[in-house]
Chains A and B, each alone.
Chain A
Amino acid sequence: GENVEQHPSTLSVQEGDSAVIKCTYSDSASNYFPWYKQELGKGPQLIIDIRSNVGEKKDQRIAVTLNKTAKHFSLHITETQPEDSAVYFCAAPYDTGRRALTFGSGTRLQVQP
């Protein structure tokens, strides 16, 4: 099965700064990489995903990049706001062709006002 590593485990930024979270994966056949945001007391919420046929995808202040050669992908949040404070998880397919996911260990992002 897939193995996903995520860094850093905690990240503190000032409001308006950018935040970057990085993940690596082990299975070169993986082709779908979603990112989830989990707020206190809630389940993870899908915020963006990237598929292996593109290298970058943007959605307003959020962008994801994928480097298939190096087997790593990253989440970039620009102009951070206090409401961005949460735990972020990267994920990759548990097995090729399946819908189950293997998650990273999470990054606790704190945006200081």
Chain B
Amino acid sequence: DAGVTQSPTHLIKTRGQQVTLRCSPKSGHDTVSWYQQALGQGPQFIFQYYEEEERQRGNFPDRFSGHQFPNYSSELNVNALLLGDSALYLCASSQGLDLYFGPGTRLLVL
């Protein structure tokens, strides 16, 4: 049983560009959440998707948007990239309370 997968593993962008990150949840999981983890810090909640709708959102600007597809996979989009958006972006899937994280996508904004 494959766990949570994310693509790409690494990405380099320049300020002002847009980026799309992808996530496939663990088999049987219907909820996908996205977290941003800056270097040396804990993951910070961006938003959560369930039944193709954003169910809850953390303290992130509208530049961060997402989508969930009928097969439960998800995308995270970030527009107008800033240097401060450089981080590890983690996707987590869940069926109940327990979150299962993917390996993350490391984004570097130059």
Chain A contact residues, CB within 8 Å of chain B: 1, 6, 32, 34, 36, 41-46, 49, 89, 91, 94-95, 98-106
Contact = CB atoms under 8 A, between A and B. Distances in A.
B56 to A, nearest CB: 5
A43 B103 contact: yes
B41 A106 contact: yes
Given A44-B90, A98-B55, 14 more contacts: A34-B99, A41-B103, A43-B102, A43-B103, A43-B104, A44-B43, A49-B97, A89-B43, A94-B56, A98-B48, A99-B48, A99-B99, A100-B33, A101-B99
B42 A89 contact: yes
Contacts of A100: 33, 45, 48, 56, 58
Nearest to A99: B94
Contacts of A98: 48, 55-56
B45 A42 contact: no
A1 to B, nearest CB: 8
A78 to B, nearest CB: 23
Given A42-B103, A43-B104, A103 B42 contact: yes
Interface in B49-85: 55-56, 58-59
Given A43-B90, A43-B101, A99 B43 contact: no
